[in-house]
Structure 1
Amino acid sequence: MALLRVFVYGTLKPGGLYHQQYCVAHLVEAVSAIAQGTLYDFPQLGYPAMTEGDGWVQGDLLTFSNRQTLAHLDYLEDYDEHRPDHENEYQRQEITVFTPDHQPLGQAWAYFMKPQRVKDLGGILLPSGSWP
């Protein structure tokens, strides 16, 4: 059976608000990881967003035994691959994920927000690449 790998950097991380509800049931492994991008905080909304960028975002690489978990994560992240991009809060794409010391861990899904949406929602840059 093929495993599902997802890079998370906010409320889905171990200890995060939605980790127990959305991740624990089929979680095989969680390892510290980084991915290339820029991280923003939305204090009024209680979650962050990652955009494409040249910096590094700190998070976790989650491995799941049930690929159906992706549909549940899509629902939480307000992503529907059949909708136009501008109607989704986040966009899901496959990226390369690395260990904290920049060794490649392979491909994983990640949720990105378009820069204009970050601006519209009043995102605050997190230069550290870490949330919270």
Structure 2
Amino acid sequence: MYPVFVYGTLKPQEAAYEKYCDPFVVSAQPAIMRGELFHLPQGYPAMTVGDRWIRGALLTFRDAAAIARIDHFEDYDPMRPPHANLYQRLRQPVFAITQQPLGTAWVYLMSPQQVCVLGGTRVDNGRWSKQLFPSI
């Protein structure tokens, strides 16, 4: 099984979930992870390393092909040097909403420098939704 923490357009009910996740998901549950969350003017979020609780979903996929599809969507290629990727895919601790540890999951993180270059603004409450940021 392949656990992935998602916090933006790949969450259930968001724009990319049906195409990139739904056909491959074995389970989905609300979850939180430590980080910093930003809204980008391009219309999607970015998460960086940090200490705030970020709300999202823990998706468990049945095979690695689903991860490869998400890698492509997130402009991540493990064979490229890190600076050539939009995001980095890393394993991080993930928690239930109650802060109960759930183990580790893959998450796509952006560097703070890239967030700055793209004009990101911090999302202080740790929740991103297209409904909350509809102007883009």
Same fold by TM-score greater than 0.5: yes
Q: SS of 1:116's equivalent?
A: helix
Which residue matches 2:132?
none
Unaligned runs of 5+ in 1: none
Q: Following superposition of structure 1 onto structure 2, how do residues 1-132 of structure 1 map, counting pairs within 5 Å?
A: 3-42=1-40, 44-132=41-129
Q: What percentage of residue pairs aligned between the two structures are identical?
A: 48
Q: CA deviation at 1:6?
A: 0.3
What secondary structure is seen at the aligned counterpart in 1 of 2:64?
coil
How big is the shift at 1:35? 0.2
Cα deviations across residues 23-59 of structure 1 (Å, max 9, x unaligned)?
01111111000000000001x3110000000111100
SS of the residue aligned with 1:16? coil
Match of 2:134 in 1: none
Secondary structure of residue in 2 paired with 1:25: coil
- Give structure 2 stretches of 5+ with no counterpart: 130-136
- SS of 2:19 mapped into structure 1: helix
